[in-house]
Amino acid sequence: MSGKNIGLLLCGLLGIVFLLPVCFLAAGSLMGRREVEECLAPILWEGSEGYAQWRLFPQYPTLRSYVQLLLDSPGFFVMFWNSVKLALGVLAGQMLLGIPAAWGFARYEFPGKRLLFTIYMLLMMLPFQVRMLSDYLLLDGLGLLDSLWGIILPAACSTFPVFLLYRFFCGIPEALLEAARLDGAGEIALLFYFGLPLGSPGIISVLVLGFLEYWNLIEQPLAFLKDQSLWPLALFLPEIGVKEAGIAFVASVIALLPAALAFWAGQDYLEQGIIASATKE
């Protein structure tokens, strides 16, 4: 067997290993309540001995959990659309704010640019837990607590899209832009007619990565949203009890789908974005 084949085999095996949780998820969504409780009894019930077990194929497959979730759980859909609103709102805000910011950093020179960009990088590295209290106080002062805008606005001002788009915008040849200026194009026109098309891979990768991040957002909603009707889908699973483990699996499957579709839609550009972020000028 050639080295390439061995490599492929190993990658395949690794891929299967990484895929197993998704397979378990799908299998669990098709199991009945008793079968789920039987497999997860050591985890779910106190006093149970032994280890949890799982089957790749359910012994008695059923769509009962799907029916229960899709037809009998209106709260799930409230949270689903909250997640959609959050993700789309954040992405729209990031496009609105991040693209011009990245364009500015990439194509223009101004005093304090390096310092400002360094601050952007520092902010990008700060975890939410560090910023949580200051964010809370700020949002409280602005009256944005218990509101989706309190999640959307801070996320829209995230520095990661700026960082990613900066790389893509840096890759646009300056000669192209000079030529456009000579033809009378203004700076805004340069952004719209050259920056956005030529930086679309980066934009799409930002969108995809951003969607994946904000679709699964849990910390900010948990900290800043008290009204349960505003909670996103990530907070639905903790609401499910032990007896509704089947519904938890179905909810996870359904929550996985948009992320998977978004990834498939922007897979090519995502790869370009990762490459772009790895290369240096």
Q: Tell me if 268 contacts other proteins by CB under 8 A.
A: yes
Residues 233-252 that bind other proteins (CB under 8 A): 236, 239
Structure tokens at 18: 């990484």
Amino acid occupying residue 137: L
Q: Tell me if 222 contacts other proteins by CB under 8 A.
A: no
Residues 72-91 that bind other proteins (CB under 8 A): 72-81, 84
* Site size for other proteins (CB under 8 A): 28
Q: Would you give the distance in Å from CA 209 to the centre of its chain?
A: 6
Q: Which of 264, 271, 275, 279 binds other proteins (CB under 8 A)?
A: 264
Which range in 51-59, 119-127, 224-232, 243-251 contacts other proteins by CB under 8 A?
224-232
Q: Which of 42, 58, 171, 258 binds other proteins (CB under 8 A)?
A: 258
- The CB-of-224 to other proteins minimum distance in angstroms stands at 16
- The CB-of-184 to other proteins minimum distance in angstroms stands at 34
Amino acid occupying residue 49: E
Residue closer to other proteins, measured from CB, 64 or 131: 64
- The CB-of-171 to other proteins minimum distance in angstroms stands at 21
Q: Tell me if 271 contacts other proteins by CB under 8 A.
A: no
Place of tokens 């689903």: 80
Q: Tell me if 129 contacts other proteins by CB under 8 A.
A: no
Q: Tell me if 256 contacts other proteins by CB under 8 A.
A: no
Q: Tell me if 103 contacts other proteins by CB under 8 A.
A: no
Residue closer to other proteins, measured from CB, 21 or 75: 75
Residue closer to other proteins, measured from CB, 29 or 73: 73
Residue closer to other proteins, measured from CB, 169 or 269: 269
Binding site for other proteins (CB under 8 A): 70-81, 84, 227-229, 231, 236, 239, 254, 257-258, 261-262, 264-266, 268
